[in-house]
Amino acid sequence: MHVSSDSSSVETIPQQQNFSVSLKQQALALGFDKVGIVRAESLSEEARHLDEWLDLGYHADLSWMLRDSEKRTDPRRLFPSARSVIVVALNYFTPAKHQDSSASGKVSRYAWGDDYHDVVGAKLRSLLAWIREQDPDADGKVCVDIQPVMDKAWAVRAGLGWLGKHTNVITPELGSWVFIGELLVNLELDYDTGPIEDHCGTCTLCIDACPTQAITEPYVVDSNKCISYATIELRSPELPVSMQENLSGWLYGCDVCQDVCPWNRFEQTSDEPRFAPRAGNVNASLSEILNLTQESYAERFRGSAMKRAKLSGLQRNAKALLSDEL
């Protein structure tokens, strides 16, 4: 079923609506928890905020953020035939808890199980395959974090949630423990009505709780001060002293701003078994990390998002945590 882009063709409207409803039902059947559909267009206001953030140098050493700016703010630059953006959210919360121990380092919840790029990507590819079964002329592009797409901006536009003061998307049903993905398609669909209200109100718990004051003001994070950035993305052989002194036990990532968020009282255990914590991924043994070889590291973290930090980064972080205990 190919849906006409001619807005004057009123007979296509019920067809668009019916197909969009079926598409959303299929997305939910594949395991996604939320889905919204919006028009593929330029993110002009969001692009302005991104430029301001980059001008302040808050991207730190993430030089790739400076590339592909046109693609990042307009999905049609990435996928020229894009007409619609299907935005999905997948709950990854599991109820395990971190332990405070000088012998181990805490790992961010998103990396406890299998790599979300693989899980979300596979589900989106299945959704695209279903769309192509309905319409042989349909085409699309799957986007999960690594493509130059403003994931959080699209989730907000699609009404999946609002951008919290910690800059994570908060859904009213599940809190902020969700992964976001997009499917760009060459079909005109029935679009959702738009963003939902920001419900952060006067709350500043995330700002107040940040161990390194990385949330410089509501809705703005300075990566230079962020524990998640330092322990995952920073490639320097040593962590900055100011960061090392404020790691608060984190080996990989940091969940403090989400842990204190009142909206996460609505957290629910994920139905996705691949997000169940792997052994040693809630708290990782520092001695084990330091004794890993390149071969044992590759085996230990195969299919895990923790590969992002590389062996050198994990061992650097482990040494920093141990030195902090001395």
Active-site residues, by number, are 145
Task: Tell me which DSSP letter residue 185 carries.
Answer: E
Task: Tell me which DSSP letter residue 171 carries.
Answer: B
Residue 117 burial by Cβ neighbours in a 10 Å radius (0-12, 13-18, 19+): middle
**In angstroms, rounded to a whole number, what is the distance separating the alpha carbons of residues 169 and 43?**
17
> What distances in angstroms separate CA 159 from CA 43, 142, 156, 260, 313, one per listed residue?
15, 20, 5, 23, 36
> What distances in angstroms separate CA 156 from CA 87, 88, 231, one per listed residue?
9, 11, 27
**213's tokens:** 């004051």
Closest by Cα among 64, 119, 51 to 88:
119
Place of tokens 């969001």: 46
Sequence-distant (≥ 6) Cβ neighbours of residue 158 within 8 angstroms: 35, 36, 37, 38, 85, 87, 192
Contact assessment for residue 240 and residue 74, using Cβ atoms and an 8 Å cutoff? no
Q: Which amino acid is at 65?
A: M
Backbone torsions φ then ψ of 285, nearest 5 degrees: -65, 125
Backbone torsions φ then ψ of 185, nearest 5 degrees: -130, 155
